[in-house]
């Protein structure tokens, strides 16, 4: 029985097979030793010009029985990270804020804060407190609609990136990989039943 796959699907199956073998999930076969007839290597031997130029002759091919044929696979070097050279950055801080009054009379606090949190707000100019929201974006959305200043942290951006990447993987698996694997399994089962 002949299995027909589209070019993209065949390429994906080949890619999966290469990844599986290169990641060491399946044992790889060692290359077999060449037979004595395969060890004969053909090399080009150019002619050396003499003092008197003659007509141009093409190099002749002569077998060289002493040179063995190299059938070993090239070794792939272990991947390493690139060298990171931290650049020198000279900056002058330019963010200023009005000093916070000790009694917080010049600060608008739209949230209910404890005495400890109010003390931290007076001392540091900001306070971080736990909330009931499950995701970062809901906090930013509430602050934007409430006209509250927003401090965007890098962990929130990385978290959103992670959520987006996770969604892309789920979509790829359910919309593309699962149907492809079902077709592959059905084709393999049909082929094995035929044999």
Number of Cα atoms under 13 Å in the Cβ half of residue 100: 16
Confidence (pLDDT) at 68 = 64
DSSP per residue, 97-112:
-PPPPTT-TT----S-
Res. 34: pLDDT tops 80: no
Q: Which two tokens stand for residue 162?
A: 């992670």
The beta-strand segments (E) located in 39-164 are: 41-45, 60-64
**Sign of the dihedral defined by the CA atoms of residues 121, 125, 130, 134, in that order:** positive
- Please tell me the predicted confidence (pLDDT) of residue 186: 93
Name the residue among 176, 171, 164 with its Cα closest to residue 135: 164
C-alpha of 98 from chain center: 45
Cα gap 188→195, rounded to integer Å: 11
Structural domain spans, the chain: 115-153
Q: Tally helices (H) and strands (E) across the chain.
A: 5, 2
Strand partners, 60: 45
104 — pLDDT class (breaks 50, 70, 90): confident
Residue that is written with structure tokens 């399946």 in the block: 26
Question: 41: which 2 tokens?
Answer: 């290597």
Q: b/e string for 176-192 if b means 16 or more Cβ within 10 A?
A: eeeebeeebeeeeeeee
Who wins on pLDDT, 190 or 195? Answer: 190
57 pLDDT band (50/70/90 cuts)? low
- Burial class of 170 by CB neighbour count within 10 A (0 to 12, 13 to 18, 19+): exposed
**How many Cα atoms sit within 13 Å of 96 on the Cβ side?**
3
Res 189: pLDDT: 93
Q: Report pTM.
A: 0.35
Q: How confident is the model at residue 52 (pLDDT cuts 50, 70, 90)?
A: low
């Amino acid at each position: 029985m002949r299995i027909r796959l589209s070019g993209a699907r065949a390429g994906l199956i080949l890619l999966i097979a290469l990844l599986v073998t290169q990641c060491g999930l399946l044992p790889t076969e060692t290359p077999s030793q060449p037979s004595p007839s395969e060890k004969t290597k053909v090399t080009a031997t150019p002619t050396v010009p003499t003092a008197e130029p003659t007509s141009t002759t093409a190099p002749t091919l002569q077998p060289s029985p002493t040179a063995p044929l190299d059938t070993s696979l090239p070794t792939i070097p272990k991947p390493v990270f690139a060298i990171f050279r931290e650049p020198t950055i000279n900056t002058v801080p330019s963010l200023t804020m009005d000093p916070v009054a000790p009694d917080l009379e010049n600060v608008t606090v739209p949230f209910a804060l404890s005495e400890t949190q109010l003390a931290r707000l007076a001392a540091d100019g900001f306070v971080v407190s736990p909330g009931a929201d499950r995701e970062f974006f809901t906090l930013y959305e509430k602050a934007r609609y409430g006209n509250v200043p927003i401090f965007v942290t890098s962990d929130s951006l990385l978290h959103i990136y992670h959520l987006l990447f996770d969604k892309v993987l789920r979509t790829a698996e359910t919309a593309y990989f699962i149907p492809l694997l079902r077709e592959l399994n059905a084709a393999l089962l049909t082929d094995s039943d035929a044999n």
